[in-house]
């Protein structure tokens, strides 16, 4: 969104053209493009676990794993956690190598409103893998949209 | 954790039977047409002896229809309106409709088939009308398909009225009750294939059937959250640090532990302490004398005066200010104008003061947590409970009885749920009913934010407004609640009603040179959405100032507005409607004065005329005429209820204030915090003027025009002297 | 020095995975908050965190404002033999922190 | 043990004499129709009848109610048939409903004292707070119950969808007697 918004401003369209009051959901293609370019992204291998409801979004636990033998020939290179609603979409990036072990990560995230969280992984064969999860951030529900 | 021992003799395991009994009591009984979720261990929603046609509709063999309602009912008639929406498309007999609510756990178990459960932002109906009507229509189609299959005819040959299906050619009839079982086995029709009825063809919508929830409200049988009773339950009274941001240091439980009925004194979190007893009064009385040491921190020095000074600085500062609208050259236009008008308005913090004080009953064990809580968003209560207990959502449940008022206080911020769960966690298995005293409620609210507004206008020789420069300086709700929602540091929410964007809360006036700015100036006082949110303050600032400008231009306030608003026909429509019904052009009795105002919020257009007289310092509001274009009118009499209620709430904007001294709120109860009462109420006329080309809100939009209409009448009565700094007691005035 | 808590669940067998749990006390200031005067509070997050086992990098995390205050991370590293695990991190203000643990594997 | 007569039944309660009647009614006797609102006799949500007179039970020590006739909303009638309750239902007075037990008892007592109240009588007697702002309908319902008004709860100008004018939405008026 930031990119699009800046683009709009650059084009002199500003608010008049963009009725958005708050951060809007970034479409998937636009969200992933900076990382995957024009390469295909497929569902599978990545598993993202996150509760369907979060109270205030300040501290939302999640767990993500990527199925991979993690050998020198076949391993996970990167894992990205992306938000389609946060002011900064990239929440975290993890780099692995053959010396890493099974990709099984838990962390706690900040989610700026109800959104889709993306876990995007690239394997050593260059392919991109994706899992997503919808999260309703309830505290801002009353304030969203208006 | 500081606790005294708590005897657990009351920790009785609740049997299934006890649960049924207590929840039947808690529901007010099935006979009353409401089916509240039984506090069951299962996430499956009962079909109450009928067949579930789809998520929204259950039909029973006796032809009665049960309509599932997702949203919270806090008094606005949302439940009745939503049921009308489904029933209209279902084509059932309204007299045989009853409602069923469910839990957020049940919603989650079905992958949120019922979607959003929250009531707030005047969105209960306008956000869900389409999918709930589709739910009703889909059920109708399936019931007709069942009849067609049985009679081996095509659906097109059938007609339905009040749940009775007729095949005209053969003269056969049957009813929904007989078709339900078969219909429930049919696949759901594609939503895209469904055409919803045109409002012209409405039979149940646009009419005013009685509310479905009135009967238990006139005999005391309706159970609110505060009425929850569970076996072995203990009562908790709580006190948070009176200074926001301050901390609880220590307390001396020994001073009260020998009092009758006291079970425990506990630290709840960093800032609050609770007393548990076998009676709320015992808990509260003990808490009143509990020696507590607080660390007030730096905020202890804040006061209304320090806050006002910060806001004043924001009115003219070049720091941390942004322009949401900056068209033309407002500075030049005003400098070159024939006349310049300037004013500074101010609105204080105000409290929600729901009649039912904040409360929550919680029971937490190692593997299950439940709350019974009046909440505008049961899913938010559930999420808060899960966060506090650390249990997964599947092991938590929130039961949501009807609310004794919400007004935005019981929305996203679930502080009372957190507190109750934090206490209950310390006593596994024992239900804890936490009740806030009114004093706690009024001093630990999420207040309507404080603000000031500087307005400068220029008028030309013909009396036309050529330039308007408006700057709001005040506290941001988003900065407090969800700062990440502020895009590029620009909190547009605070300018609600001044937006150029159409649809939600659009400025109706067209001024050649216009600048609308916001300077964020925050305080340590928690703020949140207060019914109508920023439209309340923003309508006062602009609509009172417009009267000042009209007066300076020597023009009639209505005519002056009509000229400015002509590019926005819907804004003009309600203004004209209220002027017509309010008889703006007709003379008033001697001593009576009129004021007018218009604004837009929550997708709806509103306007008001107030008739006022002043004797000494006593302001009497005699009559208010209020017009709304809410797009579609689902239940006109209930819309009128909301408009009438808006008058009472809007009058708070005139007389109420939560002021700050030594970092804390001064007004603690209704003896010092005035609330509109019967003797102050004017006669109210509602003008409902829907254009049936959009869906707007009803619960909030009309509130914001009440205060400016009255203030403009007050100014007229005082020879044009406006009240700019609210509440009106600042000018020695009071409402009688 | 940033306060942190490190918990290691060593691998059951050499060459198998060792679980690392790290909790760092840090505000992870997003840069989106505002003070009373409406000024944005400067962003300051732990942006980089690395794990080295016996001097070889086995894990790297780049973090942003989307990670909660007092960041928590749990991840797996391969520990073929006993040795030292070194965790290092740095925030936007240039402050650094580290935690280390000796992992001894019994087989 | 204190002896109380509530809704015609005798109860013995073992409580402190200074415990407000409200909490005895709600917690000891389980009659939750009487509500807690402010605790300082300001809002009237806790109104009950003491020998037929409205009192604010949150500020009345239970000891002052011993052996007197107490009526709560549950005891006003067994079938919601009091003229005030009937009028409340007819005009859909309640919104959230939380204050209405107190409002109804205050109104019932007013009508007993003044069977044909004026607006001024209503202003003086009905001091209970309703945060939803149902006052206009409360007033109309009292007049309806007293037979002093034609029972119009609200003056509503509304044109149905068929009659709507696309520009203003106003064409013909419909005054709804509800």
Question: How do residues B217-260 score in pLDDT, each as one tens digit?
Answer: 999 999 999 999 999 999 999 999 999 999 999 999 999 999 99
> CA of B19, closest CA in chain A: separation in Å?
27
Residue B465 sits in the same domain as residue B317: yes
C-beta atoms of B520 and C30 within 8 A:
no
Percentage of chain B surpassing pLDDT 90? 91
CB of B544 within 8 A of CB of B724? yes
Q: Tell the residue number behind the tokens 């008001």, with chain if given.
A: B608
pLDDT of residue B6: 34
pLDDT tens digits along B472-501? 999 999 999 988 888 888 999 999 999 999
Q: Which residue has the higher pLDDT, B366 or B30?
A: B366
Residue B206 sits in the same domain as residue B255: no
- Summary mean pLDDT of chain A: 83
B560 lies in a domain?
yes
- Phi/psi of residue B354, each to 5°? -55, 145
pLDDT tens digits along B290-311? 999 999 999 999 999 999 999 9
Residue B72 sits in the same domain as residue B118: yes
User: D177 exposed, middle or buried (CB, 10 Å; 0-12, 13-18, 19+)?
Assistant: exposed
Contacts of D33 in chain B (CB under 8 A): 219-221
Residue B476 sits in the same domain as residue B365: no
pLDDT of residue B23: 32
CA distance B153 to A135: 46
pLDDT of residue D76: 98
Rounded alpha-carbon distances, angstroms, from residue B732 to B655, B661, D34: 11, 21, 37
CA distance B718 to B705: 20
Residue D86 sits in the same domain as residue D66: no
Q: What parts of chain D have a pLDDT lower than 70?
A: 150-153, 160-178
Candidate from C59, C67, C74 with C-beta closest to A92:
C67
C-beta atoms of B280 and D23 within 8 A:
yes
Q: Tell the residue number behind the tokens 């005429």, with chain if given.
A: B625
CA distance B131 to B574: 29
B231 lies in a domain?
yes
Q: Provide CB contacts within 8 A for D69, sequence distance 6+.
A: D5, D49, D50, D51, D52
B25 lies in a domain?
no
Residue D109 sits in the same domain as residue D71: no
CA distance D125 to D103: 10
Residue B548 sits in the same domain as residue B610: yes
B121 — pLDDT class (breaks 50, 70, 90): confident
Which of D24, D43, D76 represents a domain boundary (last residue)? D76
Residue B38 sits in the same domain as residue B64: yes
- Phi/psi of residue B490, each to 5°? -110, 105
User: B42 exposed, middle or buried (CB, 10 Å; 0-12, 13-18, 19+)?
Assistant: exposed
Count of domains observed in chain D: 2
B95 lies in a domain?
yes
Please name the residue of chain A whose CA is at the shortest distance from the CA of residue B480. A140
Provide the 10 A C-beta neighbour count for residue B501: 16
- Summary mean pLDDT of chain B: 93
Nearest CA to B514 out of B730, B242, B329 is that of: B329
Gyration radius (Cα) of chain A, Å: 17
Helices (H), ranges, D2-133: 21-23, 73-76, 83-90, 100-113, 119-125
Residue B548 sits in the same domain as residue B628: yes
Which of D76, D95, D117 represents a domain boundary (last residue)? D76
- Average pLDDT score over residue span B515-523: 98
B71 — pLDDT class (breaks 50, 70, 90): very high
Strands A128-137 and A115-123: antiparallel
pLDDT of residue B190: 95
- Average pLDDT score over residue span A60-87: 95
User: A40 exposed, middle or buried (CB, 10 Å; 0-12, 13-18, 19+)?
Assistant: exposed
Whether A35 has its CB under 8 Å from any CB of chain C: the answer is no
Contacts of A88 in chain C (CB under 8 A): 64-66
C-beta atoms of C36 and B310 within 8 A:
yes
Count of domains observed in chain B: 3
CA distance B479 to B663: 19
Whether D152 has its CB under 8 Å from any CB of chain B: the answer is no
pLDDT of residue C11: 81
Whether D81 has its CB under 8 Å from any CB of chain B: the answer is no
C-beta atoms of C72 and A107 within 8 A:
yes
C-beta atoms of B260 and D16 within 8 A:
yes
pLDDT of residue A98: 73
- What is the residue range of D12's domain? 2-76
pLDDT of residue A6: 37
Q: Which of A128-132, A142-146, B332-336 has the lowest mean pLDDT?
A: A142-146
Candidate from B221, B404, B437 with C-beta closest to D96:
B404
Percentage of chain C surpassing pLDDT 70? 96
Fold of C4-28+43-103: Immunoglobulin-like (2.60.40)
Q: Is the pLDDT of residue B43 over 90?
A: no
Beta sheet of B272-277, edge-to-edge order: B262-267, B272-277, B234-240, B432-435, B359-364, B369-372, B396-399
CB of A94 within 8 A of CB of C61? yes
- Quick one: tokens of B283? 């808990």
pLDDT tens digits along B565-575? 999 999 999 99
The gap from C-alpha B712 to its chain's centroid, in whole angstroms, comes to: 26
B23 lies in a domain?
no
CB of B452 within 8 A of CB of B312? yes
CB of D138 within 8 A of CB of B678? yes
Q: Can you tell me whether residue A57 is helix, strand or coil?
A: coil
Residue extents of the structural domains in chain C: 4-28+43-103
CA distance B137 to B129: 12
Which of D56, D76, D96 represents a domain boundary (last residue)? D76
pLDDT of residue C80: 85
Q: Which residue has the higher pLDDT, A78 or B38?
A: A78
Residue B660 sits in the same domain as residue B727: yes
pLDDT of residue C10: 84
B66 lies in a domain?
yes
Cis omega (within 30 of 0) for bond into C56: no
- What is the residue range of B54's domain? 33-217
B20 — pLDDT class (breaks 50, 70, 90): very low
- Quick one: tokens of C93? 């203000």
Q: Which residue has the higher pLDDT, B23 or B102?
A: B102
Contacts of A59 in chain C (CB under 8 A): 68-69
pLDDT of residue A50: 97
Please name the residue of chain A whose CA is at the shortest distance from the CA of residue C20. A105
C-beta atoms of C34 and B483 within 8 A:
yes
Q: Which residue has the higher pLDDT, B88 or B208?
A: B88
Q: Is the pLDDT of residue B12 over 90?
A: no
Residue D31 sits in the same domain as residue D119: no
CB of B632 within 8 A of CB of B695? yes
CA distance D7 to D31: 10
pLDDT tens digits along B663-721? 999 999 999 999 999 999 999 999 999 999 999 999 999 999 999 999 999 999 999 99
- Quick one: tokens of B379? 């899913």
Residue D86 sits in the same domain as residue D113: yes
Residue B365's domain is classified under what CATH number? 3.30.365.10
pLDDT of residue B574: 96
Q: Is the pLDDT of residue C22 over 70?
A: yes
Percentage of chain B surpassing pLDDT 70? 94
Q: Provide CB contacts within 8 A for C6, sequence distance 6+.
A: C20, C21, C22, C23, C87, C99, C100, C101
Beta sheet of B158-161, edge-to-edge order: B158-161, B164-167, B172-175
Residue D91 sits in the same domain as residue D72: no
Strands A103-109 and D53-56: unpaired
Contacts of A109 in chain C (CB under 8 A): 66-68
- For each of the domains in chain A, give its residue range(s) and CATH number, in order of start: 25-137 (2.60.40.2470)
Whether C58 has its CB under 8 Å from any CB of chain A: the answer is yes
């Amino acid at each position: 969104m930031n990119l699009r918004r800046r683009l709009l401003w650059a084009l002199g369209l500003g608010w008049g053209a963009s009725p958005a009051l708050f951060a809007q959901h970034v479409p998937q293609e636009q969200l992933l493009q900076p990382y995957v370019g024009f390469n295909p992204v497929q569902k599978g291998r990545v598993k993202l676990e996150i509760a369907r409801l979060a109270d205030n979004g300040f501290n939302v636990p999640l767990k993500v794993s990527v199925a991979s033998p993690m050998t020198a020939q076949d391993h996970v290179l990167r894992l990205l956690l992306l938000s389609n609603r946060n002011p900064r979409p990239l929440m975290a990036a993890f780099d692995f190598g053959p010396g890493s072990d099974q990709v099984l990560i838990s962390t706690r995230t900040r989610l700026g409103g109800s959104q889709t969280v993306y876990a995007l992984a690239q394997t050593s064969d260059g392919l991109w893998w994706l899992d997503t999860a919808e999260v309703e951030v309830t505290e801002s529900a009353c304030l969203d949209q208006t | 954790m500081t606790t005294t021992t708590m005897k657990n003799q009351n920790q009785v395991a609740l049997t299934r039977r006890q649960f049924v009994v207590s929840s039947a009591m808690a529901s007010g009984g099935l006979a009353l047409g409401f089916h509240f979720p039984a506090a069951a261990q299962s996430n499956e929603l009962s079909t109450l002896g009928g067949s579930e046609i789809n998520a929204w509709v259950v039909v029973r063999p006796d032809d009665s229809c049960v309509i599932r309602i997702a949203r919270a009912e806090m008094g606005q008639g949302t439940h009745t309106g939503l049921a009308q929406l489904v029933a209209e498309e279902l084509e059932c007999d309204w007299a045989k409709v009853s409602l069923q609510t469910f839990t957020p756990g049940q919603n989650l178990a079905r992958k949120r088939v019922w979607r959003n459960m929250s009531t707030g932002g005047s969105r209960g109906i306008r956000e869900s009308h389409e999918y709930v009507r589709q739910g009703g229509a889909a059920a109708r189609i399936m019931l007709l398909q069942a009849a067609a299959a049985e009679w081996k005819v095509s659906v097109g040959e059938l007609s339905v009225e009040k749940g009775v299906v007729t095949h005209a050619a053969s003269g056969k009839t049957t009813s929904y009750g007989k078709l339900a079982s078969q219909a429930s086995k049919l696949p759901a029709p594609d939503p895209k294939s469904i055409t919803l009825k045109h409002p012209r063809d409405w039979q149940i919508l646009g009419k005013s059937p009685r509310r479905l929830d009135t009967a238990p409200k006139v005999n005391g049988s309706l159970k609110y959250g505060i009425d929850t009773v569970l076996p072995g339950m203990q009562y908790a009274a709580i006190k948070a640090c009176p200074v926001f941001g301050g901390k609880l240091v220590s307390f001396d439980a020994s001073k009260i532990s020998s009092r009758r009925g006291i079970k425990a004194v506990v630290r709840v979190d960093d800032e609050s302490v609770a007393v548990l007893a076998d009676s709320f009064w015992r808990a509260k009385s003990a808490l009143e004398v509990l020696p507590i040491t607080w660390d007030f921190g730096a905020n202890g020095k804040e006061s209304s005066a320090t806050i006002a000074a910060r806001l004043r600085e924001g009115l003219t500062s070049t720091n941390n200010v942004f322009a949401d609208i900056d068209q033309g050259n407002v500075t030049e236009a005003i400098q070159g104008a024939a006349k310049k008008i300037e004013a500074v308005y101010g609105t204080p913090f105000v409290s929600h003061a729901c009649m039912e004080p904040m409360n929550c009953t919680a029971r937490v064990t190692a593997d299950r947590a439940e709350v019974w809580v009046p909440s505008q968003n049961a899913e938010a209560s559930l999420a808060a409970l899960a966060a506090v207990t650390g249990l997964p959502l599947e092991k938590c449940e929130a039961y949501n009885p009807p609310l004794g008022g919400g007004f935005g206080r019981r929305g996203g911020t679930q502080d009372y749920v957190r507190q109750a769960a934090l206490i209950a966690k310390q006593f596994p298995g024992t239900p804890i009913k936490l009740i806030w005293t009114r004093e706690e409620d009024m001093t630990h609210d999420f207040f309507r934010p404080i603000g000031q507004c500087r307005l400068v206008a220029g008028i030309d020789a013909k009396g036309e407004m050529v330039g308007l420069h408006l700057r709001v300086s005040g506290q941001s709700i988003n900065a407090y609640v969800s700062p990440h929602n502020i895009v590029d540091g620009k909190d547009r929410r605070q300018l609600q009603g001044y937006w150029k964007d159409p649809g939600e809360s659009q400025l109706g006036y067209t001024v050649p040179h216009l600048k609308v700015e916001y300077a964020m100036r925050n305080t340590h006082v928690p703020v949140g959405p207060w019914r109508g949110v920023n439209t309340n303050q923003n309508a006062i600032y602009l609509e009172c100032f417009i009267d000042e400008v009209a007066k300076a231009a020597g023009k009639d306030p209505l005519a002056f507005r009509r000229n400015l608003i002509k590019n926005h026909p819907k804004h003009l429509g309600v203004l004209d409607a209220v002027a017509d019904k309010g008889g703006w052009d007709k003379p008033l009795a001697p001593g009576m004065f009129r004021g007018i105002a218009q604004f837009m919020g929550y997708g709806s257009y509103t306007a008001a005329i107030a008739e006022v007289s002043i004797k000494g310092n006593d302001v009497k509001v005699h009559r208010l005429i209020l017009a709304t274009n809410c797009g579609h009118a689902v239940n006109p009499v209930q819309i009128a209820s909301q408009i009438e209620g808006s008058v009472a709430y809007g009058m708070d904007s005139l007389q109420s204030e939560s002021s700050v001294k030594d970092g804390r709120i001064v007004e603690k109860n209704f003896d010092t915090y005035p609330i509109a009462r019967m003797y102050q109420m004017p006669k109210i006329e509602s003008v409902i003027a829907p254009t049936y080309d959009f869906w707007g809100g009803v619960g909030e939009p009309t509130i914001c025009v009440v205060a400016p209409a009255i203030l403009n009448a007050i100014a007229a009565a005082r020879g044009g002297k406006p009240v700019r700094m609210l509440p009106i007691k600042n000018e020695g005035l009071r409402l009688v | 020095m940033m306060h942190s808590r490190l918990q290691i669940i060593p691998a059951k067998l050499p060459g198998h995975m060792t679980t690392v749990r790290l909790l760092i006390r840090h505000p992870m200031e997003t840069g989106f908050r505002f003070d009373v005067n409406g000024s944005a509070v400067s962003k300051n997050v732990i942006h980089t965190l690395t794990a080295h086992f016996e001097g070889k990098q086995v894990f790297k995390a780049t973090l942003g404002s989307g990670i909660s205050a007092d960041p928590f991370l749990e991840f797996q590293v391969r520990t073929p033999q006993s040795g030292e695990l070194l965790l290092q991190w740095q925030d936007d203000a240039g402050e650094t922190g580290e935690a280390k643990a000796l992992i001894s594997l019994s087989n | 043990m204190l002896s109380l007569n509530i809704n015609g039944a005798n109860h013995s309660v073992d409580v402190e004499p200074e415990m407000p009647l409200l909490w005895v009614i709600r917690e000891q006797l389980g009659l939750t129709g009487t509500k807690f609102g402010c605790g300082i006799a300001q809002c009237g949500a806790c109104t009950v009848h003491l020998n037929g007179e409205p009192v604010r039970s949150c500020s009345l020590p239970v000891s002052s109610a011993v052996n007197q006739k107490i009526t709560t909303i549950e005891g006003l009638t067994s079938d919601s048939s009091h003229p005030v309750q009937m009028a409340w239902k007819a005009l859909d007075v309640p919104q959230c409903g939380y204050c209405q037990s107190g409002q109804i008892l205050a109104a019932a007592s007013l009508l007993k004292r003044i069977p044909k109240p004026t607006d001024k009588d209503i202003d003086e007697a009905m001091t209970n707070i309703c945060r939803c702002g149902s006052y206009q309908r409360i007033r109309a319902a009292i007049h309806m119950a007293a037979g002093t008004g034609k029972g119009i709860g609200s003056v509503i100008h509304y044109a149905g969808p068929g009659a709507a004018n696309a520009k203003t939405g106003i064409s013909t008026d419909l005054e709804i007697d509800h």
